[in-house]
Structure 1
Amino acid sequence: MNWNWLITRHTLFSLGWDEWASIFAILTTIVIVVTWLAKKIKKDFLGETNTQLKILNHNMEVKNQHDAKVDKRLNEGHEKFMRHDFTLKDHEKRIKRLEDDEYDNKHH
């Protein structure tokens, strides 16, 4: 098979090196312009949105930290509540027993 059409000293795919240089320059220019436009669009049109999203993200992080603290306090408070509830029930039993004993002593 003859590959001479593919690459020679002066051509690649039947195009001269000066034509390839032109293609490369045009493609490079297109990439640079598209990149510049994308950055400009992001800055000019989406800048305020990005700023608001950053603020929202920060606020959500603060809220999540606060919620974690609240959950921790709630769990600690629930444990205290259970201890106080147990103590209260114990006191109620003792008071009831004392009232019953006093009632029995008055009526006997």
Structure 2
Amino acid sequence: MHIFTIHTFLSLTWAEWGSLLVIGGAVFAGLHKLLSNLVDNVLGPINNNLKRLNSSFEEWNQWHKQANKRFENGDKHFIRHDEQLKDHERRITNLEERK
């Protein structure tokens, strides 16, 4: 028995090989269509929601950075006012001691 003859290849005729090729192509095309519908209809909305969530986190991070800057500026003002208060207390104490 030969592997390759004029009318057969691996003991199947060329017509049988053609039908296997067409059936295989149809199965792969159906799987491709099914998977593309799955990606578009199921995973597409999930992807959109994840994008919106990501942008919300980015906005929150920007807001948080700005809040931290405002907090640090307020802390600097507080320290400066605390030093001014201590200076005023020293000056008042000095004035009271002079009397």
Is 1:81 the counterpart of 2:78 in the alignment? no
Instruction: Count the aligned residue pairs.
Output: 99
Residue in 2 aligned with 1:32?
29
TM-score, structure 1 normalization: 0.71
Name the CA shift for 1:66/1:96 in 2 (closer, same or farther; >3 Å): same
- Residues 59 and 39 (structure 1 numbering): CA distance in 2 closer, same or farther, change over 3 Å? closer
1:5 to 2, 7, 10: 2
Mark the runs of 5 or more structure 2 residues left unpaired by the alignment. Answer: none
Which of 57, 81, 84 is the matching residue for 1:91? 84
Match of 1:58 in 2: 51
Distance 1:39 1:93 in 2: 72
The normalised TM-score by structure 2 is: 0.75
Alpha-carbon distance, 1:48 to partner: 6.6
* Aligned-CA RMSD value: 2.5
State which drifts further: 84-93 or 57-66: 57-66
The match for 1:47 is 41
- Gaps of at least 5 residues in structure 1 are none
